[in-house]
């Protein structure tokens, strides 16, 4: 099955303790679609400006991502500039220029409306709802961020009521639920709409909640995190990509999807932008999947002589 992703396509200038890049291709829809493209067909709905050219097209086209619904308008593309210190968990934003993204009204082709898997990247909750209403998808997942949680809580609640699955980080989960304990926060969010909640915890891995199940897995242990930008979106791309490719919806499939998402994120942060994902192979993906499995595997207890 194929995936439709709506989100941002942007130019990022990123500085980390390990180096610097000017105006590399970024944005939630970019990271998501490149990661998901390893698993299934992906179609992107986003907006870019006149500074988006053949080099940027190539990032998508080389991965067979369908960009016919990528709108091109006069002006400049969304631009973000940020810096990470040695604590790579927090980005310091140096500059944000919404540019053509400020007036983004997602336009969906007929083909886009028929896509069975939909991922609503982190954009205004109101736009997420508008897109969601136009797509008769089998599975709808969404991301969001603290800005929308704080500033458009009603729109966010509306969005939450209309999705199947929410993929956020732990700070966002605590903020949405106004609850410090993550288990209680998860329970509250599940009462707000989504039937399944995936919480990204950076170097601590990922947890997944439903009303009746809990799953937790460690992150792939990396000695070098080069550039954390896009980790969450490449996770979501691998996660949704696996689900769409297998079209399975049992708990076991969701768990394996979490592992594939973790694998894609772990590769993505090894280099700037999409650089690492652009030359990734299936052998590498599957090898890391097996490694992650071995890291959390333990046999049935051989009970001590109580």
Under the rule (CB under 8 A), what is the footprint of its own copies? 38-40, 86-87, 180-184, 187, 201, 203-205, 207, 214-218, 221-225, 241-242, 245-246, 248, 252-253, 255-256, 258-259, 282, 286, 289-290, 293, 295-306
Using the minimum distance from each CB to its own copies, give the nearer residue, 125 or 228.
Answer: 228
Residue identified by tokens 């698993």 is 39
CB of 19 to its own copies, least distance (A): 16
Q: How far is CA 304 from the centre of its chain?
A: 43
CB of 54 to its own copies, least distance (A): 28
* Residue 296: other Cβ atoms inside 10 A: 11
Reference 72, options 43, 44, 50; nearest CA is: 50
Strands 10-16 and 19-26: antiparallel
CB of 56 to its own copies, least distance (A): 26
Reference 60, options 268, 277, 281; nearest CA is: 277
Using the minimum distance from each CB to its own copies, give the nearer residue, 158 or 251.
Answer: 251
CB of 6 to its own copies, least distance (A): 23
Structure tokens at 167: 């993929």
- Map residue 73 onto helix, strand or coil: coil
Using the minimum distance from each CB to its own copies, give the nearer residue, 74 or 304.
Answer: 304
Using the minimum distance from each CB to its own copies, give the nearer residue, 102 or 183.
Answer: 183
CB of 131 to its own copies, least distance (A): 25
Reference 71, options 39, 24, 120, 112; nearest CA is: 112
**Distance, CA of 180 to CA of 170 (rounded, Å):** 10
Q: How far is CA 146 from the centre of its chain?
A: 15
Using the minimum distance from each CB to its own copies, give the nearer residue, 46 or 141.
Answer: 141
């Amino acid at each position: 099955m194929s995936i439709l992703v709506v989100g941002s396509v942007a130019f990022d200038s990123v500085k980390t303790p390990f180096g610097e890049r000017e105006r590399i291709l970024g944005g939630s829809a970019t990271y998501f679609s490149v990661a998901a493209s390893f698993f299934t067909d992906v179609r992107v709905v986003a907006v870019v400006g006149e500074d988006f050219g053949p080099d940027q097209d190539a990032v998508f086209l080389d991965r067979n991502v369908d960009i016919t619904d990528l709108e091109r308008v006069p002006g400049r593309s969304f631009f973000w500039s940020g810096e990470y210190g040695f604590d790579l968990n927090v980005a310091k934003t140096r500059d944000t220029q919404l540019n053509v993204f400020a007036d983004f009204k997602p336009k969906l082709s007929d083909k886009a409306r028929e896509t069975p898997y939909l991922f609503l990247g982190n954009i205004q909750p109101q736009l997420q709802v508008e897109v969601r209403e136009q797509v008769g998808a089998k599975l709808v997942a969404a991301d969001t961020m603290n800005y929308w949680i704080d500033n458009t809580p009603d729109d966010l609640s509306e969005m939450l009521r209309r999705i199947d699955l929410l993929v956020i980080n732990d700070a966002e989960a605590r903020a949405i639920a106004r609850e410090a304990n993550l288990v209680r926060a998860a329970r509250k969010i599940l009462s707000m709409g989504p039937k399944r909640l995936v919480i990204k915890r950076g170097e601590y891995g990922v947890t997944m909640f439903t009303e009746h199940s809990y799953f937790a897995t460690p992150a792939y242990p990396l000695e070098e995190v080069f550039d954390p930008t896009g980790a969450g979106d490449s996770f979501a791309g691998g996660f949704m990509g696996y689900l769409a490719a297998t079209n399975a919806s049992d708990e076991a499939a969701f768990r394996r999807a979490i592992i594939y998402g973790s694998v894609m994120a772990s590769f993505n942060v090894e280099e700037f932008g999409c650089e690492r994902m652009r030359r990734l192979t299936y052998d590498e993906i599957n090898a890391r999947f097996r490694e992650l499995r071995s890291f959390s595997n333990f046999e049935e207890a051989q009970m001590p002589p109580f």
